[in-house]
Amino acid sequence: GQQLNQSPQSMFIQEGEDVSMNCTSSSIFNTWLWYKQEPGEGPVLLIALYKAGELTSNGRLTAQFGITRKDSFLNISASIPSDVGIYFCAGDVTSGTYKYIFGTGTRLKVLA
């Protein structure tokens, strides 16, 4: 079956540093999504990517849809304490229904 490998599993960084995380798949995806989840809450969509090679920004966040359609990257610039949380990637299951599989998440901690 399709699998999403997300790395790194966790990151401890200093406030102000840039962050990079990525997802790779064994299969081709048509859509990549990036979510953030804070403790006790559900995931919140950050960025959606629909086209190979697409580069999209949302404030300090930038995500790219890999050319091979098997990977995606999320970068956070100048991290701040409120960036703390778990970041998930998700890709669509190309079966004609709107199903997404999620990566295992990257846990980000920002040290002030």
Partner 1 sequence: DAGVIQSPRHEVTEMGQEVTLRCKPISGHNSLFWYRQTMMRGLELLIYFNNNVPIDDSGMPEDRFSAKMPNASFSTLKIQPSEPRDSAVYFCASSFQESDTQYFGPGTRLTVL
Applying CB under 8 A, which residues contact partner 1?
Answer: 40-45, 48, 88, 90, 97-105
- Whichever of 17 and 38 has its CB closer to partner 1, that residue is 38
Q: How far is the CB of 76 from partner 1 (least distance, A)?
A: 20
Closest to partner 1 by CB, 45 or 80: 45
* Matching residue, tokens 């778990």: 86
> In the 8-state DSSP scheme, what is residue 70?
S
Backbone angles phi, psi at 88, to 5 degrees: -120, 140
Nearest distance from residue 88's CB to partner 1, in Å?
Answer: 7
One-letter amino acid for residue 65 of the chain:
F
Least separation in angstroms between residue 53's CB and partner 1 is 21
Residue by residue, DSSP assigns 12-26 as EEETT--EEEEEEES
- Comparison of 45 and 78: residue with beta carbon closer to partner 1: 45
**How does DSSP classify residue 100?**
E
